[in-house]
Amino acid sequence: MEKAQTESHLSITSNYINIELIKEFLEELQINAYHGWIDEDVMNHIAMVLKMIYSIYIPGVYSHQLRMEIFPLLLADEAKQWWINEGEGKITIWEELIEKFLCKFYPESYDGEEEMLEE
């Protein structure tokens, strides 16, 4: 995936989609980044990601494509490092991403996993 950044937007280009994200949306992503800290709510983060993505409509782009492109942008610190080591280029399906993400950052319980996978 290529990323070209300018002052006002970020352009994401992959084999599947080419979208531009405006500065305000990028700032919202950074504010809501998941760091992998023990006091962060993993399930709330996933729900927030889905809510953000479902508010976006781009003709010809499916929601699963947006999920896979935007989710890594919502990671920072330990969570970002996990994605670089374990996910980037290896995980291509949303369900697999959520399963591995929960296994890493919410290993005690998978309450709500089925609901998150089906959305």
Global pTM value = 0.69
**Cα torsion 118, 86, 20, 74: sign:** positive
Tell me what pLDDT residue 10 has.
45
Q: Is residue 38 part of a domain?
A: yes
Angstrom distance (rounded) from CA 106 to CA 90 = 20
Share of the chain above pLDDT 70, in %: 73
Range of the domain at 90: 33-118
Residue 111: strand, helix, or coil? coil
Q: Is residue 70 part of a domain?
A: yes
- Inter-residue contact 59 to 17 (CB < 8 Å): no
Residue 29: strand, helix, or coil? helix
Answer whether residue 35 shows pLDDT above 90: yes
* Token duo for residue 2: 């290529």
Angstrom distance (rounded) from CA 63 to CA 17 = 11
Tell me what pLDDT residue 18 has.
56
Q: Is residue 9 part of a domain?
A: no
Q: Is residue 24 part of a domain?
A: no
User: What does each C-alpha distance from 101 to 77, 90, 95 come to in angstroms?
Assistant: 14, 13, 10
Mean of pLDDT over the chain:
78
Q: Is residue 8 part of a domain?
A: no
Tell me what pLDDT residue 17 has.
52
Q: Is residue 2 part of a domain?
A: no
Q: Is residue 58 part of a domain?
A: yes
How many domains, the chain? 1
Q: Is residue 49 part of a domain?
A: yes
**First CA to last CA distance, the chain:** 25
- The band of 20, judged by pLDDT with boundaries at 50, 70 and 90, is low
Average pLDDT over residues 87-104: 92
